[in-house]
């Protein structure tokens, strides 16, 4: 492609028309068709009128480069706060008049700014630096959990797969490199039952092929397993991947089903029940997961002398590499899971029955024979006990009746 063709056919998008974005957009507009985006529609309108309160460009500069096109980007959540509660209310209310995706209320301006750093760092594909930053925030007396919640509120990874996949894959390579150069004795990492994807033979076995993922999350976890094997082969780094099956319990992620169901039921709100409640999941209590992690950590992965490249076992290798399922080995239907939660809460849920979500699977069921054989362990917390413990913790942590 010639340079002239490149300049006529290429369109440049610049997101964020601030001190850097606005001059950059205008510089690019001298050579390429350029679109400048900003989350604030009022700011876009002012720029079109030759007004720039940030003083990145003068009114004459704005008029000079009339080739640039401006538009407002209002479908990304805005994290809002203020120096006082009243100011925060005003900021939040203002954003809600501009932004269609809504707002995430943060406890302080420090949290807002820290969330921006985390979000941008994650989008720049450096998970290791995110971890370092969270440690720094703790030292600066900034609530790290609140920062991470604020940063996470910004992006829907189903709609932004490039950010999601690249960030996690590069992050895992950073972990592998850190283990390699620091001569780590054994890396145990979290994989997922989602890697079984389109497989229907139950129970799911680590010795089965998993080349048909149904979601980007599953694809990423499968890729992590393959990268771990590569490092095990090239650098003799012992790695063990643990395929977790539907982990639940205290201190989990607030966006997980059990948290959402509990909050909604206590608030008298309806819950969304996908696949009309006919899902089957091998729910695994968090304490069982922790026990499995500790036991496999002590069982350093070794090479399998009997591994045959003509009939390769996906769960082992000539390299020091292992895969295990950690699940309860007893699937429970989602509707039964909700029924147990209702009993523990003493309330009945109003249910919105919905079809299967894209990328989801109707059932999971863990074959844990390899886990039993190698580390003498099988998760055994009954679902009734696990949910009851969660509800007890939830009431205490969130101070609700």
Catalytic residues: 217
CA 246, chain centre distance (Å): 15
3-class SS letters over the chain: CCHHHHHHHCCEEEECCCCCHHHHHHHHHCCCCEEEEECCHHHHHHHHCCCCCCCCCCHHHHHHCCCCEEEECCCCCEEECCCCHHHHHHHHHHHHHHCCCCEEECCCHHHHHHHHHHHHHHHCCCHHHHHHHHHHHHHCCCCHHHHHHHHHCCCCCCCCHHHHHHHHHHHHHHHHHHHHHCCCCCEEEEEEHHHHCCCCCCCECCCCCCCCCCCHHHHHHHHHHHHHHHHHHHHCCCEEEEEECCEECCCCCCCCHHHHHHHHHHHCCCEEEHHHHCCEECCEEHHHHHHHHHHHHHCCCCCCCCCCCCCCCCCCCCCCEEEEEECCCCCEEHHHHHHHHHHHHCCCCCEEECCCCCCCCCECCECCHHHHHHHCCCCCCCHHHHHHHHHHHHHHHHCCC
């Amino acid at each position: 492609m010639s340079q002239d063709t490149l300049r006529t056919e290429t369109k440049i998008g610049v997101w964020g028309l601030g001190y850097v974005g606005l001059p950059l957009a205008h510089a690019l507009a001298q050579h390429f068709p350029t679109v400048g985006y900003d989350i604030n529609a009022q700011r876009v309108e002012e720029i079109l009128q030759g007004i720039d309160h940030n003083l990145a460009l003068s009114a004459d500069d704005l008029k000079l480069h009339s080739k640039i096109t401006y538009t407002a980007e209002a479908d990304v959540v805005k994290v809002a706060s203020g120096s006082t509660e009243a100011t925060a209310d005003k900021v939040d209310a203002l954003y809600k008049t501009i932004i269609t995706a809504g707002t995430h209320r943060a406890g302080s301006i420090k949290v807002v700014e820290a969330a921006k750093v985390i979000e941008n760092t994650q989008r720049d594909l450096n998970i290791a630096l995110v971890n370092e930053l969270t440690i720094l925030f703790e030292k600066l007396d900034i609530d790290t959990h609140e920062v991470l919640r604020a940063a996470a509120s910004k992006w829907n990874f189903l709609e932004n797969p490039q950010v999601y996949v690249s960030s996690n894959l590069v992050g895992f390579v950073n972990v592998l490199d850190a283990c390699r150069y620091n001569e780590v004795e054994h890396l145990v990492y979290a994989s997922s039952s989602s890697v079984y994807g389109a497989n229907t033979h139950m129970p799911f076995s680590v010795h089965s092929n998993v080349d048909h993922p149904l979601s980007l999350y599953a694809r990423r976890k499968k890729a992590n397993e393959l990268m771990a094997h590569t490092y095990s082969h090239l650098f003799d780094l012992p790695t063990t991947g643990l395929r977790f099956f539907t982990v639940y319990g205290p201190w989990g992620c607030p966006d997980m089903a059990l948290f959402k169901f509990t909050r909604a039921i206590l608030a008298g709100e309806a819950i969304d029940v996908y696949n009309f409640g006919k899902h089957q999941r091998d729910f695994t209590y968090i304490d069982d997961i922790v026990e499995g992690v500790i036991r496999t950590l002590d069982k350093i992965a070794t090479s399998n002398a009997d591994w045959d490249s003509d009939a390769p076992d996906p769960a082992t290798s000539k390299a020091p590499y292992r895969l295990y399922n950690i699940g309860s080995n007893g699937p429970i239907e989602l509707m039964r899971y909700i029924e147990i939660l209702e009993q523990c809460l003493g309330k009945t849920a109003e249910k919105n029955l919905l079809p299967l979500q894209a990328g989801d699977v109707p059932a999971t069921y863990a074959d844990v024979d390899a886990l039993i054989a190698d580390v003498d362990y099988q998760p055994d917390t009954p679902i009734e006990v696990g949910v009851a413990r969660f509800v007890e913790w939830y009431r205490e942590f969130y101070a609700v009746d």
